[in-house]
Amino acid sequence: MAAKQPPPLMKKHSQTDLVSRLKTRKILGVGGEDDDGEIHRSKISQVLGNEIKFAVREPLGLRVWQLVSAVMFSGVAIMALAFPDQLYDTIFEEEAASSKTPIRLYGGALLS
């Protein structure tokens, strides 16, 4: 017996078929409203969430603390790089260190 040949494959133009597009978007969960009433335009936005929720202004105290700590770290780092002996004397209240390299490496780490 000879096997029947399958019919030739026909391409479906789903871009023009509105019902097919609607079904595809419904299967993917795109375009519908969620429990919060948000309409997602893509699956990625569903996974990542809405970025408007994260656009919150930080408190002024946090910004001030970030500025103060950055200035303090930078000041100590510059002092460690430029004047390692004075920094060592200030912190340990002892004689000068035998080598300036560790103090300068510490300053470089703080500055970075």
On whether residue 85 sits in a domain, the answer given is yes
Spatial contact of 80 and 103, defined as CB atoms under 8 Å apart = yes
For residue 91, give its domain range: 60-111
| Residue 20 belongs to a domain | no
- Tell me, yes or no, if the pTM score tops 0.75: no
pLDDT band of residue 50 (cuts 50, 70, 90) is low
- Kindly state whether residue 77 falls inside one of the protein's structural domains: yes
Q: Establish if 89 belongs to a structural domain.
A: yes
**Other Cβ atoms closer than 10 A to 97:** 15
Summarize pLDDT for 76-110 with one digit per residue, the tens.
Answer: 999 999 988 888 888 877 776 678 888 899 899 99
Is the pLDDT reported for residue 19 higher than 90?
A: no
Is 75's pLDDT higher than 90?
yes
Considering the domain boundaries, does residue 55 fall inside one? no
Question: Domain tally for the chain?
Answer: 1
Q: Is residue 70 part of a domain?
A: yes
In a domain, 40, yes or no: no
Mean pLDDT value across the chain: 76
